[in-house]
Chain A
Amino acid sequence: MIMNSLYYQKKLSRNVGDKFFTSLSVFCALIAILPLIFVVTYILIKGGAQITPELFTLEPNPPGDDLDAGGINPALIGTLVITTIASIIAIPVGVGGGIYLAEYSNGGSFSKFIRFGVNVLAGVPSIIAGVFIYALIVSTKILFGSMYSGFAGGMALSILMLPTVIKTTDEGLKLVPNELRYASLGIGASMYTTILKITLPTAFRSIATGVVLGIARAAGETAPLIFTALFSYYYIVGFEDLFYEMGSLAVLIYNFALEPYDAQNKLAWAASFILVISILTVNIFSRIFAAFTETTKRV
């Protein structure tokens, strides 16, 4: 009898309870991965079926009774243009700010305040960034009298990218061992030479990974664009188009998903296909890249 108590007893209430909670936890995990599988499968099937060469070259037709919806060229180019503008603004500001936080500040109240501000800014709803740019640029027509413009859209997106870029720069630089800095300063290099030639290149991979993920995230943002960049059905041909309404894949999906016509809905699926495939590719590759660098780290 005493020997028996050392064996695993299936019917003991603690073992039954453990089994129950373990299966509950497995159940939770299954539910958690279901949405991704469902969303990606539907987009691959429904969106993949719409992919044709014309999709990339034609303008979308305005919603109506005609069956042919056209292509998504302006939206595709618009997304590239708007994200590029956002990156051009957010990356220098973010990397510069991150350098100050990691290299110059000594944990004083200013840097604490800025780090706090970065976290708060990261939590500001994306639509508020749109509202802010609307008040600042669109309604005041401050940009050469243009109202809704691709440029305004890019600025709204840059507000959303900024916290990500600062955070990844700050954290990436903090991982650089201090010995490298001492060595560089010790042989007489100035602070900015040390940062630009030693610490930034060392942290480049982790910063680049974070920044690329931030760009991918911004490319899918819709809320800040719907009343800053608005939407356009026409090709982007020249530089001056920056200061007019500009389409983007995200806004195209939003607008065309709510249209009652099947042709437009199909275009929305096609745009989702392109958007999701590119975002997932970037994410998966940067994940593999990060895992790879982790195992081969030299310093």
Chain B
Amino acid sequence: MEEKLTLFKNRKRFGIEKNIDLIFKNTTLALSSLVAIVLFGIILVVFFQSFESFSRYGLNFLVTSEWNPVKDEYGAFTAIYGTLVTSLLSLLITIPLGVGTAIFITEDFVPKFVREIVGSFVELLAAIPSVVLGLWAIFVMEPFFREFFVFLHKFFGWIPLFSSEPAGRNSLLAIIILVVMLLPIVTSIARDSLNQVPKKLRNASYGIGASRWKTIFSVILPAALSGIMAGVLLALGRAMGETMAVTMIIGNSNVFSWSLLSPGYTISSMLANQFGEADGSQVSSLFYAAFVLMILSLVVNIFAQWLVKKFSLKY
């Protein structure tokens, strides 16, 4: 017995084979570290490029809305406000729609193949490039909603959000196209977390006489809540960073207005519009705006991941 073990001990791999193995391992290690390097690289590069503007305007940049390359005055309040308002309002519309659709897909109102078709339709919607949705928004959606906006202004003009004459391209259109883009994210994540709720919870609820929707509202939705919340936060991060469709339809105006019917601006549409032809301190200010956008989406994303980790092991 002893002898046999030493026999195996002495059987060694050739040096070259061992080296290849080691090189392979270290190469993959280096490649996976590249993710961290790229991530930190992005944060550092954007931060250092924005440093000039940061030291000149400080936090005032966030609360003033002067954007004047001629006078060299920069403040991104309009864009930051636009980013927050469009993403939050679109999310507010998407949550009930997306969760409702997810419930439709996970419950058995209709035969399974119909639900599967609806599910894959919603997922295919996520595959449509944002720029194509923007094109569609300009030529199809905007004319469709024109009359409705006039009506909205006429009868609800006393609400500050609808107080201006509807412009051809405005923040409300951007919110609507964002709903289209967020719907697949919220729906697919809500569907996954609804599917993960154990069957016995549902059966127990039915067993004590609860109706279907009583079960959904009091048992299934609360059990899936953390997953749905994480999906909502991911969608919020996406909405804040979404560029093309929003840039094409929001009107790109740096004039601040409370009204959703007037043209607006978001950080990403400001970057898309001005980056190509900016020079001097405008570039640094744009980097500052990009940094703000990045921090916003990083915070939302990290919070979403924390939420998933914290609550995912409940069942």
A33 touches B21 (CB 8 A): no
Task: Please give the distance in Å from A21's CB to the nearest CB on chain B.
Answer: 4
Between A and B, 25 residue pairs with Cβ closer than 8 Å are A17-B211, A17-B213, A22-B109, A28-B97, A32-B118, A36-B121, A36-B128, A42-B139, A96-B30, A100-B31, A116-B305, A120-B298, A123-B301, A125-B237, A128-B294, A131-B286, A135-B287, A166-B35, A192-B21, A220-B130, A226-B275, A253-B132, A257-B131, A276-B129, A279-B129
B294 touches A125 (CB 8 A): yes
B129 touches A29 (CB 8 A): no
Task: Please give the distance in Å from B48's CB to the nearest CB on chain A.
Answer: 8
Chain B residues within 8 Å of A14, by CB: 211, 214
Given contacts A101-B32, A250-B129, contact A28 B272 (CB under 8 A): no
Given the complex of chains A and B, what is the CA–CA distance between A118 and B237 in angstroms?
A: 15
A-B contact count (CB 8 A): 272
Task: Please give the distance in Å from B229's CB to the nearest CB on chain A.
Answer: 15
Contact with B along A115-142 (1 / 0, CB 8 A): 0111111011111111110111001000
B104 touches A226 (CB 8 A): no
A29 touches B127 (CB 8 A): no
Chain A residues within 8 Å of B5, by CB: none
Given contacts A35-B183, A275-B129, A283-B124, contact A125 B275 (CB under 8 A): no
Given the complex of chains A and B, what is the CA–CA distance between A116 and B36 in angstroms?
A: 9
Chain A residues within 8 Å of B135, by CB: 253, 257, 268-269, 272
Given the complex of chains A and B, what is the CA–CA distance between A283 and B123 in angstroms?
A: 10
Chain A residues within 8 Å of B107, by CB: 25
B183 touches A32 (CB 8 A): yes
Contact with B along A10-42 (1 / 0, CB 8 A): 000011011001101111110111011111101
Q: Tell me the residues in window 23-73 of chain A with beta carbons closer than 8 Å to chain B beta carbons.
A: 24-29, 31-33, 35-40, 42-43, 46
Given the complex of chains A and B, what is the CA–CA distance between A22 and B213 in angstroms?
A: 8
Size range of the chain A interface in the assembly = 35 or more
B100 touches A113 (CB 8 A): no
Given the complex of chains A and B, what is the CA–CA distance between A205 and B301 in angstroms?
A: 30
Does A247 reach chain B (CB closer than 8 Å)?
no
Max chain A C-beta neighbours (<10 A), residue from B35, B136, B216, B283: B35
Interface-located stretch among B58-66, B68-76, B195-203, B241-249: B241-249
Chain A residue at minimum C-beta to C-beta distance from B133: A39
Does A292 reach chain B (CB closer than 8 Å)?
no
A123 touches B237 (CB 8 A): yes
B290 touches A131 (CB 8 A): yes
Given the complex of chains A and B, what is the CA–CA distance between A284 and B41 in angstroms?
A: 36
